[in-house]
Amino acid sequence: MSPPDPFVIPEDAIEEKFLAATGPGGQNVNKVATAVQIRLDVYALRLAPEVFARLKTLAGSRFTDDGAILLTARRYRTQEANRADARARLGELLAQAHVRPVRRVKTRPSRAAKAKRMEGKAQRSRIKQGRGKVVLD
């Protein structure tokens, strides 16, 4: 299954904060706030209840008590790249929440399948019974 298309997020539901990143980048890491922390107000999206429930499950620990999703992007060395990465990840998360899971249809094995399975077990049992110590009379 191909990944779902990114979801378009309204600007008024997003709040961005830039902070100092960790990792590679040399002196630039100490001087420039390149990491992006995005806060999305989920209630502002007015999602359907089942989509909201799926989003809450998918977000996991990134979902806060006040109904927001908090994502931090620090993969890249530039603010713009991290910002784009965070928005793309948020869009993918929302798109995945909109995908309804396929219901599993219960199936029962046929009588022939059950008989075949039992015959296989009996045959295996006979093979195992033939093993063991050899008794010489």
Question: What would the pLDDT profile of 6-28 be if each residue is shown by its tens digit?
Answer: 566 777 778 887 887 776 666 66
Question: What would the pLDDT profile of 95-120 be if each residue is shown by its tens digit?
Answer: 888 889 899 999 999 999 999 999 99
Max Cα–Cα distance, the chain, nearest Å: 91
Question: How much is the mean pLDDT over the chain?
Answer: 83
Please name each of the domains of the chain with its CATH number: 11-98 (3.30.160.20)
Q: Are 4 and 99 in contact (CB under 8 A)?
A: yes
- Taking the whole predicted model, whether its pTM rises above 0.75 is answered as no
Cα 15 from Cα 17, distance rounded (Å): 7
Residue 2 has pLDDT above 60, yes or no: no
* Cα 79 from chain centroid (whole Å): 25
Residue 79 has pLDDT above 70, yes or no: yes
Q: Identify the H or E element spanning 35.
A: strand 35-41
pLDDT for position 107: 93
Token code pair at residue 21 = 């990143």
Cα 38 from Cα 18, distance rounded (Å): 9
Q: What percent of the chain has pLDDT over 70?
A: 88
